Structure 1
Amino acid sequence: MPPLQTNLPFGTSFNFDELQWVTNIRRTIEADQLEDDSEISKCIFSVPKALMSTHPDCYTPQQISLGPYHHSRLELHEMDRYKLSAAKRSQKLLQSLKFQDLVEQLMKLESKIRACYSKYLNINGETLAWMMAIDASFLIEFLQVCALCDPKMLSKVPSGISYLFDYSRRESGYHAILRDMAMLENQIPLFMLRKVLEFQFPSLKSADDMLYSMLMGSCKELSPFKTVVSLSGVKVSHDAHLLDFLYNIIVPKVEESFEIPEEVKDDSKDTQDNEESSVDSSYIKPLLIEIWKLLSKLKVLNKLLKSAPFAVILKLPWTIFLNLLGFGTVKQPNTSSESEIVCSSFDQPPSVEEITIPSVSQLSKCGVRFVPTNGSISTINFDKQTCTFYLPKISLDVNSDVVLRNLVAYEASNLSGPMVFTRYTELMNGIIDSDEDAKKLREKGIILSHLRNDEEVANIWNGMSRSIRLTKVPFLDKVIEDVNKYHDGLFKVKVGKFMKMYVFGSWKLLTLVAATLLLIITSLQAFCSVYDCVRLFHLK
């Protein structure tokens, strides 16, 4: 039983039943399961407000409520009759037991159930047990429908739900329930489903096998990556809920994904080569700086430099010369050390604002090839030798926007380490800027779209919310860094950036210079037309 902190604003009141409170406290203290509560961590969270405010419909159930968070919403009570029908069919499978017996067993797990939710549940124990029993019965029945994609499961599915399979597959209501099942605030613990299946199957092994098959079937329906990791041999009870199970089969393990890749390990050789190649420039650049200092001390040049037009005329060729040599813009030397100026991309955790990566169209024009892989996020890689960008295949349909957003919300709420999936969505958001970018990835087979057009695909990635906290994922950050180095190192990209910065960005100043020169030439022509310049200056 969690503390009586309700997270309500100060001064907000609710109906408080003192006798019920004492009953709940006594039952919690005397419960045998109290010793095991310390091993249960919160796994069902509320969506962070920073994410909820961007697209609330993707985090709020629209068809059905599962669990206590949205149970009080009246617009979702229409599905209660289907829940009760599922509970009646479930009672027939309880092997000479009554549904009341199942509820009494769940009441013994009250403290364990409450410990899974991050918010305080202002519900008495018996109501919570009935709610969980009915919702679990409906969810099991619906998951059996999802498991029908496996031909081996057809014989194990009760005949009472065959109508749901035939009917819902042709209706949008099936996908609406799928979307609601994937929402973070609409989860129920998996040990609840396992407890119900224990009453329906003769052995624990058969119950676990059935639960695993149902979860895999639903994840194949929900997962944007059709190549999912098999979790056979792993106890389903270790997964907190359906969304957690889905997250574990599409996101690589921490131990595997956060090891330093071979390319990163060999990066020390590249840095040594860069240091050797920059030895010559380390002598030339200070020399050019000193020459510029000496020239700037001349009085004539100082007078000319005070006027902006002459400053542009003098500095423009100088800047072009330095940029073409690869030295960049010459600046006054700073007293701070290079270690304070230059920092690696791994020194500070990157945020969304720091992700700057060219789009698919820009990279394609620079000769980068996009190749699909049949793996997960861990297969993302950029080969600098062949200029090949490897990206995993991803399938997008009407459920993908909700699934992607809730996976990001769950990762942000649950994990304390790097957010791998969030970083992946930020990478895709960076390389897809328009429907043309989405079209190129679709033509390459990286995006398998079941949406109406490429614009909807681009909107899914461009509409993704910003992460609520900073994160760094070494193997993904290495890919972003390699792509940027390749793109920014191209000669035509350097020229384009220079023209944009110093020519197109200074068009007002260049216009003033041109107008001034034109005025000087016109004045000189008018002066020569009035006075005989040839005779005046003794010119032949």
Structure 2
Amino acid sequence: MASNSNPSFDELRWVSQIRRTLDEELEDDNGSTPVCIFNVPKTLMSSKPESYIPQQVALGPYHYWRPELYEMERYKLSAAKRTQKQLQCIKFQHLVDQLTKLEPRIRSCYHKYLDFNGETLAWMMAVDASFLLEFLQIYAIKEGKILTRVSKSAHNAILRDIVMLENQIPLFLLRKILECQFLSLETADGVLFSMLTGLCTELSPFKMIDNFPRIHVSERFHLLDFLYHMIVPMSEEQQSEINEADDDQGSNPTDDRGEEETFAKSNHVKQLLDEIWKLLSKLNKGPVRYLKQALVSKPVKLVLKLPWAIITRLPGFSILKQPVEYYFFTQDKEDVKPENGASSSTNNANKPPLIEEITIPSVTELYKSGIRFSLTTGDITTISFDEKTVTFYLPTISLDVNTEVVLRNLVAYEASAASGPLVFTRYTELMNGIIDTKEDVELLRERGIVLNRLKSDEEVANLWNGMSKSVRLTKVPLLDKVIEDVNRYYSSRWKVKAGKFMKAYVFGSWQFLTLVAAIMLLLLMTLQAFCSVYSCARVFHINRVE
């Protein structure tokens, strides 16, 4: 029996949209835009949702129908009315018609399927883009002086909303509206660049950059993408330079990174005897050299091995088994490591780093070990560690009420859009690693690295410690090299070595404490037995008090 059910309105609209999209695919092929507006990864969203979900105003389709954001709709409509007055001899309806023609390109920007018809989407984008342009105008005049009709707190709330990843609208829509206003695309791009540069100067946490890189508005997808490339300007350029260098040299691209890969093997040896061996390795001269050769010679090992098997079975001596065996009986295995070192380094370079590889001591611990902190005048790609002067160079970062939202959404965008190393994400992991307490923040603040515009240093510490979620681990050779250099210098300090040994084998070992207690008890029992046979007062010349 044939079904006579008619398709619903939603089904007809879906079929119509698919047909129109396929028909316009070839026409729009040259001007297609890749997906650039993503949903925030769930691992990040779960940590602090209010940093990713707009609280005041919705821009674009992702949060458009949320009832708690309806209050701002009247402000957006007022902005659309003022935009209509600024249009040159055309009506707002004509602008919407222009955006309707860009519907396939608009939809291609969003990762999520947009359940709107073309007309609804065009009106939504026209109104939201008008509001955003009016808000951005205050950053393009009076040399950065902010002129706004709302309070400072409301202004900051809108600032936080417009920088969120899920609250972005494509920049080519803003260019289209400005082109209709100024009747020139070149003039429109100049005005938009001025607006975005002023906004990024306000939002960027890195205030030390005097000259921002020249970024073409036509090459950037949305406001957050523009801000990201302002803060991390060298990522694409460095990649192109590496490719050019590889073509010119015609050599193995991993040769220049050989030294960096050798430092990737962090050696956290907790045995005190191993530390002594490292010291002897540095003093490879004269008698010390012959002493080393004698200690590791096969005859000495053979002599030590036989009684050692008996000694380690005695009560209380099992704690000494691991460090002594490591020191005397494992050198042969270490001697053959260089043979496979190259392949091991190559494999490690291609694998994502383990969580231990991004562990770094706190600012306070580094400072106590002799490391000093100083400013670098560049961006995050200029972070370095000078082993000669024992100085850790970090850029200045200014923290205010908007910074956490900016940082979190930059990390979310980089994790979603970047195909290469997550440079900015690794920077946040580095700061999260070295800042644990308010004392760490205070040290960095005193050296001008942290400009704290929040209530307290503890609030800054909580900000960084809260940014512990990461979508995926990736290698960033520049920052990884700095982390490895700092860790290697810190671990080489005798104070740190002694502390690690005491913590691992003394304070953290019940076996060692039991051995010490047993020895003390044995000595006291021996002393008591001695005194019971002989007169301790007469032997030790102690005058008895009668």
Q: TM-score, normalised by structure 2?
A: 0.81
Question: Partners in 1 of 2:354 and 2:142 — Cα distance?
Answer: 40
Question: Hey, what does 2:105 align to over in structure 1?
Answer: 112
Residues 289 and 500 of structure 1, relative CA distance in 2, 3 Å threshold? farther
**Which range is displaced more, 453-462 or 463-472?**
463-472
Question: Partners in 2 of 1:490 and 1:528 — Cα distance?
Answer: 45
Residues 241 and 331 of structure 1, relative CA distance in 2, 3 Å threshold? same
Code of the aligned partner of 2:378: G
Match of residue 295, structure 1, among 304, 313, 318? 304
Question: Partners in 2 of 1:125 and 1:17 — Cα distance?
Answer: 13
Question: Partners in 2 of 1:85 and 1:331 — Cα distance?
Answer: 78
Instruction: Describe the SS at the equivalent of 1:441.
Output: helix
- TM-fit CA distance, 1:496: 1.8
Pair 1:217-2:225 in alignment:
no
CA contact (8 A) 1:359 1:437 kept: yes
CA contact (8 A) 1:289 1:330 kept: no
Match of residue 129, structure 1, among 115, 118, 122? 122
Code of the aligned partner of 2:166: E
Question: Partners in 1 of 2:14 and 2:236 — Cα distance?
Answer: 44
Pair 1:355-2:358 in alignment:
yes
**Which range is displaced more, 404-413 or 468-477?**
468-477
Question: Hey, what does 1:338 align to over in structure 2?
Answer: 337
Structure 2 alignment gaps of length 5 or more: 1-7, 246-254, 264-278, 537-546
Pair 1:103-2:102 in alignment:
no
Residues 39 and 110 of structure 1, relative CA distance in 2, 3 Å threshold? closer
Code of the aligned partner of 2:234: K
Question: Hey, what does 2:375 align to over in structure 1?
Answer: 372
- TM-fit CA distance, 1:32: 7.6
Residues 95 and 314 of structure 1, relative CA distance in 2, 3 Å threshold? closer
Question: Partners in 2 of 1:77 and 1:120 — Cα distance?
Answer: 22
Match of residue 248, structure 1, among 221, 229, 237? 229
Question: Partners in 2 of 1:63 and 1:277 — Cα distance?
Answer: 63
- TM-fit CA distance, 1:222: 1.0
Residues 529 and 398 of structure 1, relative CA distance in 2, 3 Å threshold? closer
Pair 1:424-2:423 in alignment:
no
Pair 1:515-2:517 in alignment:
yes
Deviation digits for residues 41-83 of structure 1, max 9, x if unmatched? 1000000011111111111111110000001111111100000
Question: Hey, what does 2:37 align to over in structure 1?
Answer: 44
Code of the aligned partner of 1:294: V
Instruction: Describe the SS at the equivalent of 1:150.
Output: helix
- TM-fit CA distance, 1:295: 2.0
Name the Cα RMSD after superposition. Answer: 3.4
Deviation digits for residues 236-285 of structure 1, max 9, x if unmatched? 02100000000001103225446789xx959759989x9x9597899837
Residues 177 and 308 of structure 1, relative CA distance in 2, 3 Å threshold? farther
Question: Hey, what does 1:89 align to over in structure 2?
Answer: 82
Pair 1:18-2:11 in alignment:
yes
Match of residue 306, structure 1, among 313, 318, 343? 313
Pair 1:475-2:478 in alignment:
yes
Pair 1:199-2:180 in alignment:
yes
Question: Hey, what does 1:179 align to over in structure 2?
Answer: 160
Code of the aligned partner of 1:402: V
Question: Partners in 2 of 1:109 and 1:182 — Cα distance?
Answer: 23
Residues 203 and 515 of structure 1, relative CA distance in 2, 3 Å threshold? closer
CA contact (8 A) 1:31 1:108 kept: no
Question: Hey, what does 1:495 align to over in structure 2?
Answer: 498
Residues 330 and 149 of structure 1, relative CA distance in 2, 3 Å threshold? farther
CA contact (8 A) 1:371 1:389 kept: yes
Instruction: Describe the SS at the equivalent of 2:440.
Output: helix
Deviation digits for residues 93-134 of structure 1, max 9, x if unmatched? 111211111101100000000000011111100000000000
TM alignment of 1:357-506, pairs within 5 A? 357-506=360-509
Instruction: Describe the SS at the equivalent of 1:395.
Output: strand
Deviation digits for residues 168-209 of structure 1, max 9, x if unmatched? 3x4301000000011000000000000111111132221111
Deviation digits for residues 211-239 of structure 1, max 9, x if unmatched? 1111111111111112265343x430210
Instruction: Describe the SS at the equivalent of 1:245.
Output: helix
Structure 1 alignment gaps of length 5 or more: 1-14, 155-163, 320-326, 535-540
Code of the aligned partner of 1:288: V
Residues 235 and 517 of structure 1, relative CA distance in 2, 3 Å threshold? closer
Question: Partners in 1 of 2:108 and 2:261 — Cα distance?
Answer: 51
Match of residue 230, structure 1, among 201, 212, 221? 212
Question: Partners in 2 of 1:104 and 1:479 — Cα distance?
Answer: 54
Deviation digits for residues 124-182 of structure 1, max 9, x if unmatched? 0000000000000000000112333526xx9xxxxxxxxx93443x4301000000011
Question: Hey, what does 1:160 align to over in structure 2?
Answer: none
CA contact (8 A) 2:168 2:223 kept: yes
Residues 475 and 514 of structure 1, relative CA distance in 2, 3 Å threshold? closer
Code of the aligned partner of 1:242: L
Instruction: Describe the SS at the equivalent of 2:141.
Output: helix
**Which range is displaced more, 60-69 or 251-260?**
251-260
CA contact (8 A) 1:28 1:34 kept: no
Question: Hey, what does 2:266 align to over in structure 1?
Answer: none
Code of the aligned partner of 2:461: A
Question: Partners in 1 of 2:11 and 2:143 — Cα distance?
Answer: 51
Residues 285 and 448 of structure 1, relative CA distance in 2, 3 Å threshold? farther
Question: Hey, what does 2:64 align to over in structure 1?
Answer: 71
Deviation digits for residues 1-34 of structure 1, max 9, x if unmatched? xxxxxxxxxxxxxx86122223323433443874
**Which range is displaced more, 496-505 or 121-130?**
496-505
Instruction: Describe the SS at the equivalent of 2:28.
Output: helix
Question: Hey, what does 1:165 align to over in structure 2?
Answer: 147
- TM-fit CA distance, 1:88: 0.5
- TM-fit CA distance, 1:524: 3.8
Residues 191 and 362 of structure 1, relative CA distance in 2, 3 Å threshold? same
Question: Hey, what does 2:169 align to over in structure 1?
Answer: 188
Question: Hey, what does 2:136 align to over in structure 1?
Answer: 143
Code of the aligned partner of 1:297: L
Residues 492 and 265 of structure 1, relative CA distance in 2, 3 Å threshold? farther
Deviation digits for residues 485-522 of structure 1, max 9, x if unmatched? 1111122222222222222222x223322332344344
Question: Partners in 1 of 2:260 and 2:434 — Cα distance?
Answer: 28
Instruction: Describe the SS at the equivalent of 1:390.
Output: strand
Residues 483 and 211 of structure 1, relative CA distance in 2, 3 Å threshold? same
Question: Hey, what does 2:544 align to over in structure 1?
Answer: none
- TM-fit CA distance, 1:288: 3.4
**Which range is displaced more, 408-417 or 492-501?**
492-501
Residues 502 and 515 of structure 1, relative CA distance in 2, 3 Å threshold? closer
Question: Partners in 2 of 1:279 and 1:193 — Cα distance?
Answer: 69
Q: Count residues with an aligned counterpart.
A: 492
**Which range is displaced more, 466-475 or 104-113?**
466-475
CA contact (8 A) 1:360 1:440 kept: yes
Instruction: Describe the SS at the equivalent of 2:228.
Output: helix
CA contact (8 A) 1:257 1:475 kept: no
**Which range is displaced more, 127-136 or 307-316?**
307-316
Code of the aligned partner of 2:337: E
Code of the aligned partner of 2:386: D
Question: Partners in 2 of 1:517 and 1:365 — Cα distance?
Answer: 35
